[in-house]
Structure 1
Amino acid sequence: MLSIGIKLSIDDFALAFKRPVPLTIGYVAQYILKPALGVLIARAFGMPSAFFAGFVLTCCVSGAQLSSYASFLSKGDVALSILLTSCSTISSVVVTPVLTGLLIGSVVPVDGIAMAKSILQVVLVPVTLGLLLNTYAKAVVNVIQPVMPFVAMVCTSLCIGSPLAINRSMILSSEGFLLLLPIVTFHVAAFIVGYWVSKLPMLRQEEPVCRTISVCTGMQSSTLAGLLASQFLGSSQAVPAACSVVIMAIFGLTLGSYWGNGSRIRDIGSRFYPQASAGVSS
């Protein structure tokens, strides 16, 4: 988050607050479209009851803090990503229990104080520090900027690896392997839905905004879902969240890097069928 903050300015946030439409689109995608998509996929794949509640809970939590880094890689609207993640995280104190109550029949309480501390420690404090450094201490930024990619890589690896290691035995079980296809399907569909909803004719958002909403929709706080599932639903229900941490991180960062390199989704076909694409363009 610090590596993102040193790339931002106060003007970036002022511009994001002046555009409530992208924030609304992202919020609706996060808490209406994504939970509905999760339930449909879980039922379509006939997910076992040992994992169903945990999978649905994973679809109902707030946006992932890692999505801000994916937005940065994709050359998206990073300020919008941070604002959207913060709004969805704060409101999850109310929204996540309501959604889980409606969709799986049991309310999962969320610790509002712990949630606020998480936002302060993991997102707002380092981003604000980076923003202040970029505004008032350019010399310091020039010194630390070269090492920030390495630091970000180590922190990201720890965030992904810890829940995976904790649930290792259940993930490697036969039932655990059956979770991979629905989880992969869910995240791929969420990325697609987040992008194309923003492209609807009545919304017509700019490309950086569409990319940001896409990664924010496809990446959620699976670590939080795993903690809640372990505490309130049982240890087996934490397995979908642990698998989701890895899959959403790999897919989200890969998609961000793909966009960041100047590639477009529509160009994927030309990589596999260059002759056909050349014939169409001619």
Structure 2
Amino acid sequence: MDTCIIKLNVLNLAFGKVSKEYYAPALGGIMLSIGIRLSIDDFALAFKRPLPLSVGYIAQYVLKPVLGLLIAKIFRAPSMFYAGFILTCCVAGAQLSSYASFLSKGDVALSILLTSSTTISSVLMTPLLTGLLIGSVVPVDGVAMSKSILQVVLVPVALGLVLNTYAKAVVNLIQPIMPFFAMACTSLCIGSPLAINRNQILSSHGLMLLFPILTFHLVAFVLGYWFAKFPFLRQDESVCRTISLCTGMQSSTLAGLLATQFLGSTHAVPAACSVVLMAIMGLCLASFWGNGSRIRDIALLI
């Protein structure tokens, strides 16, 4: 048994070292996989559907950061994780939400547009929100954070867009392997903070962090859905499902990278936990909707 534990620790340390070294390139690979799915027509479509896109954007960058701040205060998040938790609530939507929207019979085109717009604007929005919400607790270098996001997010997305626009032959050639490439990059991004911070995650403070993260994602899914259902908005059911999934699922991998670079590796723990929990919760919700179930059915049953 002791031998197995030693081997597991060695593997964790090795994986953590390797994934930490290639964490930023791996995240850039994920963003490249988003970029090659975009075209100029997608952005033109955004201007034709300003209301649902605006609703999702507000839910992403207004409602969710405020929700994260309230939950951190209510649960009295430990100071060693506080800044990382808030940062996790201020990043763009996750590309996995597009797949979840497909499973839920939602609006996949809207999900892609919303994920793309929040990802591109994260260069400005994430440092701005992080500075406003945690700048008084932990110093945040907004300019350096913007440069980092520019390198690992905007440049790969722009490269993918250029390839998809002017080099269709190249895109058609690499398209079949991109899902496997994105999966490998995602595994590195998830495994890095988990492996590096496994001791903090398994500590008493780390286990207590699961409750605020679970609460945050659960409320974010509900808030995103009913916000789009407001009487003065009244979006279609498919749009409400998409906004719910995009609100509850954010790019925690980006949060982990930024936390490691600018706040310290300990602050990457909330992002590491969030990656796993939001993926499980989001895909379960998408399967619930995809099987024909509705939120109102739960309310009537209760």
Which TM-score applies when normalising by structure 1?
Answer: 0.78
**Of residues 174, 181, 187 in structure 1, which corresponds to 2:217?**
187
Matched, 1:55 2:85: yes
Give the distance between the partners of 2:98 and 2:161, measured in 1 at CA: 10
- Give the share of equivalent positions with the same residue, in percent: 68
2: distance between equivalents of 1:52 and 1:26?
Answer: 26
Which one-letter code corresponds to 1:65 in the other structure?
Q
The correspondence for 1:98, drawn from 120, 124, 128, is: 128
Map residues 20-39 of structure 1 onto 2, 5 A cutoff: 20-39=50-69
Q: Tell me the residue number matched to 1:266.
A: 296
- Structure 1's 241 and 199: CA in aligned 2 closer, same or farther, altered over 3 A? same
- State the shift of 1:65 in Å: 2.0
Aligned amino acid, residue 80 of structure 1: L
Alignment partner for residue 254 of structure 1, among 284, 290, 294? 284
Q: Report if the CA contact (8 A) 1:163-1:242 is conserved.
A: yes
**Contact 1:71 1:212 survives alignment (8 Å):** yes
Amino acid of the structure 1 residue aligned with 2:248:
G
Q: CA RMSD in A?
A: 3.4
1:244 matches 2:274: yes
Note the C-alpha offset of 1:86.
1.8
Kindly provide the CA deviation profile for residues 26-75 of structure 1, in whole angstroms up to 9, marking residues without a partner as x.
Answer: 11111110011001111101111111111111111111122222222222
CA contact (8 A) 1:89 1:115 kept: no
> 2:149: which partner in 1?
115
Structure 2 runs not aligned, ≥5 long: 1-29
The 10-residue stretch of structure 1 (6-15 or 242-251) with the greater mean CA deviation from structure 2? 6-15
Confirm or deny that 1:213 pairs with 2:246. no
Q: 1:76 to 1:229 in 2, by over 3 A?
A: same
Q: Which residue of 2 aligns with 1:229?
A: 259
Shift of 1:215: 0.9
In structure 2, C-alpha distance between the alignment counterparts of 1:65 and 1:220, rounded to whole Å: 8
Which residue type is aligned with residue 39 of structure 1?
L
2:109 is the alignment partner of 1:75: no
CA distance in structure 2 between the aligned counterparts of 1:234 and 1:5, rounded to whole angstroms: 29
TM-score computed with the length of structure 2 as normaliser: 0.73
State how far apart, in whole Å, the 2-side matches of 1:75 and 1:32 are: 26
Uncovered stretches (5+) of structure 1, i.e. residues with no partner:
271-275, 278-282
Contact 2:252/2:271 (CA < 8 Å) preserved in 1? yes
Query: Which range is displaced more, 159-168 or 218-227?
Result: 159-168
| Alignment: residue pair count | 265
Distance 2:34 2:99 in 1: 7
